[in-house]
């Protein structure tokens, strides 16, 4: 990943680093050991709204180490779809556990906006650029 692709706006908290990139993509990296539940999703929506500045943008998700989502978190994500500022979502699943979680979410929740799981950054970035 090239550092020039990032804008100046970066928001970091105890569970994630959220970057607003020059190419229009919002890159979210969840930190090691993060468990995504309904409360965390509510906190993160506030961060996403702030970093997007009122515009919908494509989102790219990655995780460092062990990141999980609770059943409550999967179910709650449906409630947030109308306020979530995304045009499309790409998830980098570079291991089997992440791939299973991301694909399970896709099959069970059926997001309203385009959602796709990728093995690598270039493929995910190329796909997301169609939604800028």
93-126 pLDDT per residue, tens = 877 666 777 767 677 777 889 999 999 999 999 9
Tell me the three state secondary structure of residue 27. Answer: strand
- Start-to-end C-alpha separation, the chain: 19
**Could you tell me the domains of the chain?**
3-131 (3.30.750)
pTM, 2 dp: 0.88
21-63 residue pLDDT tens: 999 999 999 999 999 999 999 999 999 999 999 899 999 999 8
Q: What is the DSSP letter of 32?
A: T
CA-to-CA distance for 49 and 64, rounded, in angstroms? Answer: 23
For 51, the enclosing helix (H) or strand (E) is helix 38-52
Say what the pLDDT of residue 51 is: 96
For the cut 60, the answer to whether the pLDDT of residue 3 exceeds it is no
For the cut 90, the answer to whether the pLDDT of residue 10 exceeds it is yes
């Amino acid at each position: 990943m090239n550092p020039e692709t990032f804008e100046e706006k970066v928001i970091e908290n105890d569970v994630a680093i959220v970057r607003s990139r020059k190419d229009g993509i919002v890159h979210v990296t969840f930190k090691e050991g993060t468990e995504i539940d309904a409360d965390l999703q509510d906190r993160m929506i506030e961060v996403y709204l702030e970093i997007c500045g009122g515009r919908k943008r494509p989102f790219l998700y990655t995780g460092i180490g062990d990141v999980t989502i609770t059943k409550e978190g999967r179910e709650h994500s449906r409630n947030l779809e109308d306020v979530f500022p995304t045009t499309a979502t790409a998830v980098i699943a570079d291991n089997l556990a992440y791939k299973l979680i991301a694909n399970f979410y896709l099959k069970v929740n059926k997001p309203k906006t385009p959602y796709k799981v990728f093995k690598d950054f270039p493929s995910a970035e190329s796909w997301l650029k169609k939604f800028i």
